[in-house]
Amino acid sequence: MKLQAWAAVLAACCASAAAAQTPPLELASRWTVDRTLAGDPGARRLSLALVTLAGTGWTESRMADAAVVAVHLLAPCGIALGRLEVLTYAGGAPAMRDLWTPASRELARAVAPLRPAVFFVAGTWHRPAFDAEAFGRANTATRPELVHTVWVTSAARDLPIVIAHELVHVLSGSGDHSDLPGNLMREDTAPGATALTAAQCERVRSEGEREGLLARAVKR
């Protein structure tokens, strides 16, 4: 057998062995809060899934607390929290615990969460390495499993502001940043920088509704 053929067989054997040693991805914990009927009935409702894997260092309470505050930062745009799902998974390939397109696509496909979804991971293999990344229509043509997701690493600081910033990218379908002082969409997030302009809010509402990410309250 030629050397190349032996190499292919060896690689296949190694891959099979690794797969056999990887525990299956399984749901370890799930809880839901539904605030659809709470608060201002005229607000657009933003429902979120928060997803993490055991071993990333994230706790459900920290994720949920940060997400609730993040959505509150969008209240000036007429947005309120609807359904919140918090999911923790165990097992799966070790690479799923970081942001890395091949493993993250596999994780998102396997979990298939409510969208938008915020994945809380340990780190990132992407370069340049960002503390958080958002994926909308514009940057997921070749990785559709990631559309309408946000990925937050353990290096992120000012967590609610970071989540709100990335959610605006997803909801507005835009990667644009602002140079306005105190604006939430400045390239570098910072404490106290939480303002959004009327134009930014309008785009968030219109694009978010068009993509099915925001829902109007049902009149009773």
pLDDT in tens, 12-62: 444 444 455 889 999 999 999 887 666 676 789 999 999 999 999 999 999
pLDDT tens for each residue of 94-135: 999 999 999 999 999 999 999 999 999 999 999 999 999 999
Q: Is the pLDDT of residue 171 over 50?
A: yes
pLDDT at residue 9 is higher than 70: no
Pairing of strands 98-99, 214-216: unpaired
The second-level CATH assignment, the architecture, of 24-216 is: 3-Layer(aba) Sandwich (3.40)
pLDDT of residue 12: 47
Q: What is the pLDDT of residue 21?
A: 84
The full set of domain ranges for the chain reads: 24-216
Rounded CA gap, 48 and 113, in Å? 9
Query: Whole-angstrom Cα distance, residue 202 to residue 207?
Result: 8
* Residue 120 CB neighbours (<10 A): 28
Specify the pTM.
0.88
Mean residue pLDDT across the chain: 90
